[in-house]
Copies of this chain bind each other. A is one copy, B any other.
Amino acid sequence: MISVVLLGAGNVATHLFKAFSKAESVSVVQWYNRSYNVISSYTNDVDTTDDLSQLKEADIYIMAVSDDSISKLSKDLPFENRLIAHTSGSVSIHDLDKKNQRAVFYPLQTFSKAAELNFSEIPICIEVTEKANLQFMKDLAEALGCKPYKINTEQRQTLHLSAVFVNNFTNQLYRIAHEISDAKSINFDILKPLIIETAKKVQDLSPYMAQTGPAKRNDKKTIKRHLKQIESKEHKAIYELLTASIKKTHGQR
């Protein structure tokens, strides 16, 4: 049984708490948050505290706190030579105070309070300062049904950047399509199967191979008509920039 103390109570922490609680080989022995009221509704499920000096012993201390708080919180921990991990995509492992053994446990997924999440199949990016802890970190990921990947800090930061492209930016394109179709009283539901199929396609094909459409074909007539249809200057700029990007990728000009 792996014992875990969880620190923080944001989206990632809350999803991790639920996932750890479900995992048979993991026991959350304590949940710490600096403001107690956020976790106060969980007092029946787990020992909760807002006092660092009361932290219990555990195999690992997982700090799912904001990027800016990681360094200070790791300094404030009142113990040494235990295993601590942060869950951030962008913070270096060396930002953790070296009085403890350091690790990273970064789940590459989108977390929001509103959406339920199936934790299995989430890639977990793992980094350790002591090689001896690598297998333990992998075991912890697998206990959640997740797939562990050994990823160094620079790679993790690159993944975090890539995630902004495939998640935040993609979602904003959905939003723009929502705005454009709403303006003509079109039900956004009609676009949903296409959104799913676009994501599914690149599970097997490379994005390069999966591409279709007017920019790839350099279909100037359609591109011109689309630009005429778009009312917002901002949407037009996005259309032009991404069309140019596709053309460049596929050798059109």
- Which residues from B are CB-within-8-Å of A151? 186, 190
Answer yes or no: A122 CB below 8 A from chain B CBs.
Answer: yes
Partner of A167, one of B190, B213, B237: B213
- Which residues from B are CB-within-8-Å of A246? 168-169, 172
A197–B165 contact, CB under 8 A?
A: no
Can you list 24 A-B pairs with a CB-CB distance of less than 8 A?
A: A108-B194, A109-B193, A109-B194, A112-B209, A114-B209, A157-B229, A158-B181, A164-B215, A164-B239, A165-B174, A166-B194, A168-B215, A168-B246, A171-B210, A172-B211, A173-B173, A174-B207, A174-B210, A175-B211, A176-B245, A199-B199, A234-B244, A237-B241, A238-B245
Which of A109, A149, A184, A189 neighbours the largest number of chain B CB atoms within 10 Å of its CB? A184
B202–A192 contact, CB under 8 A?
A: yes
Answer yes or no: A155 CB below 8 A from chain B CBs.
Answer: yes
B162–A197 contact, CB under 8 A?
A: no
Distance between A21 CB and nearest chain B CB, rounded to angstroms: 21
Answer yes or no: A43 CB below 8 A from chain B CBs.
Answer: no
Answer yes or no: A132 CB below 8 A from chain B CBs.
Answer: no
Answer yes or no: A69 CB below 8 A from chain B CBs.
Answer: no
Which of A164, A205, A246 neighbours the largest number of chain B CB atoms within 10 Å of its CB? A164
Given known A168-B213, A229-B157, A241-B237, contact A193–B121 (CB-CB < 8 A)? yes
Distance between A35 CB and nearest chain B CB, rounded to angstroms: 19
A175–B249 contact, CB under 8 A?
A: yes
For the complex of A and B, 5 pairs with smallest distance between CB atoms: A199-B199, A168-B213, A175-B207, A174-B207, A162-B177
Answer yes or no: A25 CB below 8 A from chain B CBs.
Answer: no
Once the chains are docked, how many angstroms separate the CA of A200 from the CA of B121? Answer: 15
Answer yes or no: A38 CB below 8 A from chain B CBs.
Answer: no
- Which residues from B are CB-within-8-Å of A112? 201, 205, 209-210, 212
Answer yes or no: A180 CB below 8 A from chain B CBs.
Answer: yes
- Which residues from B are CB-within-8-Å of A183? 158
Scoring A residues 78 to 111 as 1 if CB is less than 8 Å from chain B, else 0, what string do you get?
Answer: 0000000000001000000000000000001111
B208–A175 contact, CB under 8 A?
A: yes
A164–B213 contact, CB under 8 A?
A: yes
Distance between A218 CB and nearest chain B CB, rounded to angstroms: 13
Once the chains are docked, how many angstroms separate the CA of A85 from the CA of B206? Answer: 33
Once the chains are docked, how many angstroms separate the CA of A246 from the CA of B115? Answer: 20
- Which residues from B are CB-within-8-Å of A160? 226
